[in-house]
Amino acid sequence: MAEEKGKITPQSEDFPQWYQDVVREGDLAEVAKVVKGCMVIKPHGYAIWEKIQADLDRRFKKTGHKNAYFPLLIPKSFITKEAEHVEGFAPELAVVTHAGGKQLPEGEEYVIRPTSETIIGHFFSKWIESYRDLPLLINQWANVMRWELHTRMFLRTTEFLWQEGHTAHATHEEALEEVIRMLNVYGDFAEQMMAMPVIRGLKSESEKFAGAVSTYCIEAMMRDGKALQAGTSHDLGQNFGKAFDVKFQNEEKKVDYVWQTSWGVSTRLVGALVMTHSDDTGLILPPRLAPVQAVVVPIYRKSKERAEVVEAASKLRDDLAAAGVAVELDDREGKRPGEKFYEWERKGVPIRIELGPRDIASGEAMTRLRVAEGKEKMKLETLARDLPGVLESFQGFLLERAKKFREDNTVSVDTWDDFRGVFADGQSKFVWAHWDGTTQTEAAIKEETKATVRCLPIEGQGVDAGPGACIRTGQPSRGRVLFAKSY
């Protein structure tokens, strides 16, 4: 379906097109057609990323991590040092073979950073000598490039923005504690800030990060029933330590390789916000991540009323800003109120405040939450005091609504016929089912249904953890795992 400016395709009609329409109409991003597979993140979209970045950065620093920056260009020879790593990333690498107008000698080519385990491992080997240098806790905010064949704005693009944490530890136990700690940082952020409930779990062998011993993840349900991997945390074991000779002298004065972790989230989270909360009218943003939490729209019919109304609206804006609300005053001339309402709805602003001569006279303003069917009056003298509470209630509402949607679209099945039925006709849900744990069975299930093992749940995810029989082979299963189609 061709894109039509101003139109949002209904979710039920064409979900992928709906998503593209909401991103466009919400003024979040546009395809950078002159650069294959890339996008331009527009100010409104980037402002959401900045709020994501600021909150996560605070959480990282609270857990002892410090920010650093490493080169965008990585020697190609580094990528080949870890066998699983090079095999996993080889198809996605963008390779620099010419520089300064000349071809680089063989063996001196660079790759544009697809991820930084290799180059950071190189520098860790220079920085770490003793157990006294550990743990080393580093985070990097950067861009990366992975050559994607099929792209979709925010969800999968050739270049994207992210953060990548990299840490080194003296023992495997300490490294595993870090892996789970950061997984929970991501999970808490998703639920507290994004109002997006997630399942926390362990990836299967075929789905883990290339070069890792194990990968943990958070999985969220989008409004089409598909799963989105929203963050990952990797136990790298000593694989990269050995590949890059990252050694240290322990307390017994013996030399050993460090135990490493890496973990990351990306601008994919903006896409997750769109697909978790938005509707056929456009974007819906949880207040804690909305760049504009409230918009004040002056309403007047006669030009002589304008000065009085704009003055009152300006005062209200200032009072709201003083109360900590991210507020905009839309006093643009030449646009009717209805046009302004339409635009701010499309951008997902949580609440709209209308103020006209009658409102000023009565000491009340008309307000409308983004998901409400009607309007409500709020007293002008207490509006600035009361609105933060209204926004917090809206934040909570979105989380509970998303939980309810996930609950209504989650099933447990015990037979292959029931499993296939869930994923028939392009449909998807979250399915808890038994699996025998083999890569062969996982591949067969994916081949027939396009559903994959999203994760093996860690404790506390509210699923029956008892043993059973694999839905596909009938072989013993340790417990149910989460299946879904995914992005």
pLDDT on residue 1:
44
pTM of the model: 0.95
Q: For the chain, what is the largest distance between any 2 Cα atoms, rounded to a whole number of angstroms?
A: 84
Using the predicted structure, report yes or no on whether residue 2 has a pLDDT greater than 60: no
pLDDT in tens, 7-26: 999 999 999 999 999 999 99
Give the pLDDT confidence score for residue 438 in this predicted structure.
97
pLDDT of residue 6 exceeding 90:
no
pLDDT tens-digit readout, 367-379: 999 999 899 999 9
Residue 465: the pLDDT is 76
pLDDT surpassing 80 at residue 37: yes
Residue 3 is predicted with a pLDDT of: 62
334-361 mean pLDDT: 96
pLDDT of res. 309: 96
Quick check: 224 pLDDT over 70? yes
Q: Which CATH superfamily is domain 15-277 in?
A: Bira Bifunctional Protein; Domain 2 (3.30.930.10)
Single-letter residue type at 215: T
Residue 65 has pLDDT above 70, yes or no: yes
Q: Where are the domains of the chain?
A: 15-277, 292-389, 410-484
Above 80 in pLDDT, residue 86?
no
Stretch 144-168: mean pLDDT:
95
How distant, in Å, are the alpha carbons of 16, 22, 23, 25, 285 from that of 7? Answer: 14, 9, 12, 8, 19
Q: May I ask the CATH class of domain 292-389?
A: alpha beta
Mean of all residue pLDDT scores within the chain: 95
Please check the confidence at residue 444 and state whether its pLDDT lies above 80. yes
pLDDT for res 333 = 92
Q: CA 289, 290, 294, 295: dihedral to nearest 10 degrees? A: 160
Comparing 142-146, 148-152, 207-211, the range with the smallest average pLDDT is 148-152
Q: What is the pLDDT at residue 464?
A: 78
pLDDT confidence bin for 459, thresholds 50/70/90:
confident
Q: Which of 77-91, 297-311, 396-410, 419-433 has the lowest mean pLDDT?
A: 77-91
Mean pLDDT, residues 326-343 taken together: 96
CATH code given to domain 410-484: 3.30.110.30
Nearest to 454 by CA among 197, 136, 203: 203
